[in-house]
A and B are shown apart, each in its own frame.
Chain A
Amino acid sequence: MSLNKLLLLATFCLFSLFAVAQNTTGISGVIKDNNGPVAGVSVTLKNTNRGALTNEKGVFELTNVKPGEYVLVVSSIGYISQQKNITVQAGRSETLNLELKAASNDIQQVTVVGKTKSQEVRETGFAVNAIETKKFANTTADLNQVLSRSAGVRIREQGGLGSNFNFSINGLSGKAVKYFIDGVPLELMGTAMSLNNIPVNLAERLEVYKGVVPVQLGADAMGGAVNIITNQKTSNYLDFSHSYGSFNTNRTALTAQYGDKKTGLIFKANGFYNYSNNNYLMKGVEILEGGTRNGKQITDLSGASFVTTDIERFHDNYRSGMGQAEVGLINKSWADAIFISGAYTKANQDLQTGFDQKTVYGAVTRKSDALSGSIRYKKDNLFTKGLSLSLFGSVSKDTYITADTLLRQYYWDGSWTEKGSAEMGGIKQLSHIIRPRKFIRANTGYIINEQHSISINYTLDNLKNETYNELLTDRDYMPGRLNKQILGLAYQQEFLDKRLTNTWFVKNYNLGLGRNKYVGNVLTQLDTSFNNIGYGVASRFKINEKIGVKLSAERAYRLQEAEEMFGDGLNVQPNPDLVPESSDNVNAGAFASLNNGSHHFFIEAAGFYRNAKNFIYLVPDVRSGALKNENKSSVRVTGFEVDARYNYQDLLALSANVTYQNAINTTKFGSTESNVPEATYLNQIPNQPWLFGNADLSIGKNDLLGKNTRLQFNWFTQYVHWFYLTWENYGNTNGKSNIPTQFIHNAALTYSLENGKYNITAECRNLGDMLAYDNFKLQKPGRSFSIKFRYFIK
């Protein structure tokens, strides 16, 4: 089905739903104080689970209220709570306006029955996983480990802390997935700022957009996007934690904020430090026995033979750190918030293996460091009511060095022999990648009226890419340049008491690429530019307060990068014929929540469709040993996911999700010119998990071991069904390689004191010490233990 048809169908479906909508019975009104309307006021119906927050005009709305007598409770921080009796009659809408009086003491705890921010995000039209990180804050998890528990997401890591990973959202992965922190690209902060080592404590919330990405995240995120949202509260807090565990793994995280109410001045500090030897046990790997040895060197291989053994990894140290300081002003007449920020990230990494376990490295290292500075500004109701502006600008420089300077072949016991090539197979290299970058983002929104609003997002990403091997030259004389501009326009409609929301959007991708090159001995400037237009819609219709359906669709692009088009001047050859990757993405789903007293139940099910074309791959050339990027293949993914969660008070929380995805190769013709479609045409793509799920159980009790304490136990299980390494239908089944089923259990026990001020957690990952693989049978850590201390005040 073409995307146009789907959009048509979607529109049709949504409009048919209008017919189902009925007359509403509800309560609405405006809450003011002596200065005017107050936003963010909690309005709840006593002894029900119904509630709402006032908007910027002080307006609240409670729809679909059953006829009857109610007590309306109105409360907000800094005001005296009020209660009003109200009678709701069938088919009538009640209006109630109130004026709040300031409370004498400044801060007052208020329980808001409204929804959490995550729940609000879940109930937008976008297919999105919204994850509160609070429940993981006492664990040693990094963001990948948190995200990998969510539906539709599969992260394939190559090893322990800091190892390379491939992040897949509904079957699309690699460069099709983009990462953001508070809406700006994560990579601005450098290579070390990566999901595989950012501690969970730095994030307040995580959002995973699947296939259809809001214009606010201005990027060519064809397969989806991950947005890390940090603590945006204006209150003071300090969250410091340190953990120590198996393989000498240390993780420290700090996030703190101090604000001065009078001046509106705010200081923020964020940082982390990770260190691990990653010296976990490798099972069933080969080492050499025999030969003539001199220390670790095997000087003569005569008589040496491979034997299988279990042995610890020996060259996999990982160290990374990040420090960020921010200073800013809030609540000024000219700015709701303005901040300037500086950050430094650094990572040192030893590489232990190549793409499989047979390729052992013993001295290859990678280092990266990056410095960045940024400024951000936000103002709502700028010049006129309903107009908002948010600006972000940054300058950064990321340096990345790979060192492969020894002509050696290493073995799993750390011994080595001389080799005819460098460890990674080519010539010796000390290769530098230097990326100076400028990034600007401007978001502006305008609320036309209750029903209609628009927003415009513009991003400019200007990047220079220098690549050179220090052993051959002192710099890149012909760096690649990239200038990416994305302009997005979104129009949001809200109908039927906000039960129906539609967000229509278009994105214009403009890409300019350049590199100087010698063409026939003449230095020539090669440049090219592209323009692509993507578009989509995200809709949600709430059938009633509990149940909603959503549908979203987008034609999305992943633009080429400078080195993909022009080569890197080292090993990657140019390919001017590259076209962008593109995909038609559709999601359709439904959610339902059921709240019965202290029982909270939420279920969301969704189907997804991706039709992705022209994936760009780096393909090696047998003759020259050089690499070249080519538009190689096309994939159609269909699948579904189900996510269910249940809470009982703060005692019990259960959640489970399962994802099934069927990725079909739609590359009809291969590299050879042929009238016969490839054998693999319409076959399931190999080497990809297609069935996986997670289950999570937490049980905790307050005041069990003393007043203001909490004891919490968490159990987490992850299942990935086995899959073939190569095409299922081809080759004799006797000798087919597969990645076996993984069924991994983890457990943690947390004891918190003084209402969560002091926390200590003991954790065990991979309880059964199972062999865990993600990629080409590259083993991941077996059973590990850790302990984490966390100090948290607010």
Chain B
Amino acid sequence: MNRSLKSTVKIFLLALVVTAMNACKKSDNTTNPDTTEKGQYSALVAVGSWPNTAYYIADVPSLTSGTLSIAGNGAELTGKVYAQDVLQKDGFYYHLNSGAGRFGKYHVDKGVLVTDKEIPFTYLSWSTYTWVDSETLVIFGDGNGEARYAIVKVKDMTVTTGKLGINANPAGFVRIDFGFAEYRGGKIFIGYGFGSDDWTNYPVMPIYDKSYVAVVTYPAMTVDKSIEETRSAGMGGSQVYAASSFVDETGDIYFISDPINVYNTTKPSAVYRIKNGSNDLDPTYFFNFSSTVSNGMGAAMWYIGNGKAIVRTRVAGNNIDADHSFSLIDVKTGTFIKKLDLPTDKGERMVNAVIVEDGKAYIAVNAADKDYIWEYDPATDKLTKGLEFIGGIDYILRIEKLK
């Protein structure tokens, strides 16, 4: 064997050693620095470009201070619940995986998403939901082109299903666009409209001009009536991603519409009210939200108390993947108060971005620079930086109050 061959062998051996060392390095990484959750708040975040986008639910120890990184932290969702439409109540997470026909209940323990129960569920794909009480979730969505519902007793994940007797699809409009849903005193109010699946002229889509709010008697789930509405369209976004309605202290229901979300480019985004005791849209109330925000749209809305709400506002235009800001409105009087002085939100189109604690609002903002949860105190009208998301998270998709 001559000299050159010897060096070849040396290189080969060196390579094997390097490989072996690398192999060791990989296998050693099994301990974890922090496995305890405080369990007060959580955040669902995404990192990594497609196709290696990964979702995590990370514990948020404090809304007002500190940092959150998912380096070695956060419950991995890949392989279990690969989605952002994960509903949370009382520390449990719920997700409907239509592809695999499973509806599951989960919680996070020691950094792991634990499956409490998964049931076979194939009846519908969810779009919107409302909680009747803390044990009863009602979900709505499309199943075989029909409007369908399911009443879920979340304690043991038992379901009752049925068809929702809303208006029949007009000819040529096969899609049902579900909007907001709110339960109040034996009735569920649910926004809906019809859409086309004719993509020929996309992004210009055929538009069905009428939108509706169905009034449904619970638990019989009979549709009392469908209120017709033409001043706006898109009666609330898909609630499983972000809220577009609420019931205030007095029992009045408010919801915000987003016409662009249903490809309607001519109508404004508006706030509607259904007064307590009434089963109709308040005829005295129509808040043209777009006119106050340079033709922006209300993508999501949260009630922060004392008649005020925060609207995640998308800049004008036909694209729903655009910049967002946060607007403070007086929802009682239907007036615009101001645009909160926050960095431009470059985040996902649908974000469950606001939670309310002790009368203060906490707002997650996916900024171009640094990502914070901001505290807005309505009493002092002050914005304060709180928790910082560090390490380069792509999307903050949800923040949740667990208790």
* Residue ranges of A at the interface with B (Cβ–Cβ < 8 Å): 288, 291, 298, 301-302, 304-306, 354, 356, 358-359, 407, 409, 411, 417-421, 425, 427, 517-521, 543-544, 546-547, 569-570, 573-574, 590, 592, 594, 603, 605, 617, 619, 622-623, 626, 630, 632-633, 640, 642, 644, 658, 660, 665, 667, 670-681, 685-687, 691, 721-722, 725-737, 776-777
Contacts and interface: CB of A to CB of B under 8 A. Distances in A.
Interface stretch (B10-18, B86-94, B283-291): B10-18
A725 B120 CA distance: 25
Interface string B51-71: 110101000000000000011
Size bracket, chain B contacts: 35 or more
Contacts of B392: 674, 676-681
Contacts of A633: 49-50, 52
A732 B50 contact: no
A733 B148 contact: no
Contacts of B56: 730-731
A340 to B, nearest CB: 43
B320 A623 contact: yes
6 residue pairs, one from A and one from B, having the closest CB atoms: A732-B111, A420-B143, A735-B112, A409-B101, A731-B76, A679-B392
Nearest to A685: B52
B384 interface: no
B118 interface: yes
A288 B5 CA distance: 62
Interface stretch (B165-173, B209-217, B364-372): B364-372
Nearest to B84: A622
28 contacts: A304-B119, A305-B119, A356-B100, A358-B100, A407-B144, A417-B122, A425-B98, A592-B4, A622-B241, A623-B320, A658-B19, A665-B48, A665-B49, A671-B394, A674-B368, A675-B369, A678-B394, A679-B48, A679-B392, A680-B52, A691-B22, A691-B23, A725-B79, A730-B76, A731-B73, A731-B74, A731-B75, A732-B72
Contacts of A594: 1, 5
B155 interface: no
B393 interface: yes
Nearest to B30: A733
B294 interface: no
Contact of B201 (A420, A518, A680, A687): A518
Given A622-B241, A633-B49, 20 more contacts: A301-B119, A356-B100, A420-B146, A421-B125, A520-B204, A573-B202, A590-B8, A605-B8, A633-B50, A642-B15, A665-B48, A674-B367, A730-B72, A730-B74, A731-B54, A731-B76, A731-B111, A732-B74, A732-B111, A733-B29
Contact of B12 (A302, A642, A679): A642
Contact of B112 (A418, A674, A734): A734
B118 A306 contact: yes
- The listed residue with most B CB atoms (<10 A of its CB), out of A573, A626, A640, is A640
Contacts of B201: 518-521
A636 to B, nearest CB: 14
B113 interface: yes
B121 A301 contact: yes
B125 A420 contact: yes
Interface of B: 1-2, 4-5, 8-9, 11-12, 15-16, 18-19, 22-23, 26, 29-32, 34-35, 47-52, 54, 56, 70-76, 78-79, 84, 97-102, 110-113, 118-125, 141-144, 146, 148, 158-159, 197, 199-202, 204, 238, 241, 261, 320, 346-350, 366-371, 391-395
A605 B11 contact: yes
Question: Which one of B35, B54, B121, B123 has the highest number of Cβ atoms from chain A below 10 Å of its Cβ?
Answer: B54
Given A419-B122, A732-B76, A605 B15 contact: yes
B190 to A, nearest CB: 17
A679 B391 CA distance: 5
Contacts of A660: 15, 18-19, 22
Which residue, A305, A547, A619, A670, has most C-beta atoms of chain B within 10 A?
A: A670
B98 A732 contact: no
Given A520-B204, A733-B32, A675 B79 contact: no
A679 B393 contact: yes
A93 B374 CA distance: 85
Nearest to B320: A623
B120 A301 contact: yes
A728 B347 CA distance: 24
Contact of B8 (A603, A675, A737): A603
B371 to A, nearest CB: 8
Contacts of A546: 2, 5
A658 B76 contact: no
A627 to B, nearest CB: 11
Contacts of B144: 407, 419-421
A680 B47 CA distance: 7
A626 B50 CA distance: 15
Nearest to B56: A731
B50 A617 contact: yes
Contact of B142 (A420, A670, A673): A420
Contacts of A734: 32, 35, 110-112
Majority secondary structure, A binding face: loop
Contacts of A421: 98, 125, 143-144
A736 B76 contact: yes
B22 to A, nearest CB: 7
B259 to A, nearest CB: 14
Contacts of B52: 633, 665, 680, 685-687, 726-727
A288 B367 CA distance: 46
B346 A678 contact: no
Contacts of B141: 420
A67 B113 CA distance: 75
Contacts of A407: 144
B174 to A, nearest CB: 9
Contacts of A305: 119
A786 B402 CA distance: 57
A678 B45 CA distance: 13
B288 to A, nearest CB: 24
A626 B5 CA distance: 57
A735 B122 contact: no
A617 B141 CA distance: 29
B49 A732 contact: no
A156 to B, nearest CB: 14
A592 B8 CA distance: 8
A359 B394 CA distance: 28
B204 to A, nearest CB: 7
B111 A420 contact: no
Given A425-B98, A594-B1, A730-B56, A671 B49 contact: yes
B112 A732 contact: yes
A727 B47 contact: yes
B51 A670 contact: no
A419 B238 CA distance: 21
B101 A419 contact: yes
A667 B47 CA distance: 12
B48 A672 contact: no
A307 to B, nearest CB: 12
A547 B5 CA distance: 7
Most buried by B among A520, A619, A687, A727: A727
A418 B50 CA distance: 32
A685 B52 CA distance: 8
B8 A417 contact: no
A606 to B, nearest CB: 10
Contact of A727 (B48, B50, B350): B48
A328 B369 CA distance: 68
Contacts of A573: 199, 202
B151 to A, nearest CB: 13
B60 to A, nearest CB: 14
A358 B122 CA distance: 13
Contacts of B73: 731-732
B336 to A, nearest CB: 26
Nearest to B114: A735
B102 to A, nearest CB: 7
B171 to A, nearest CB: 15
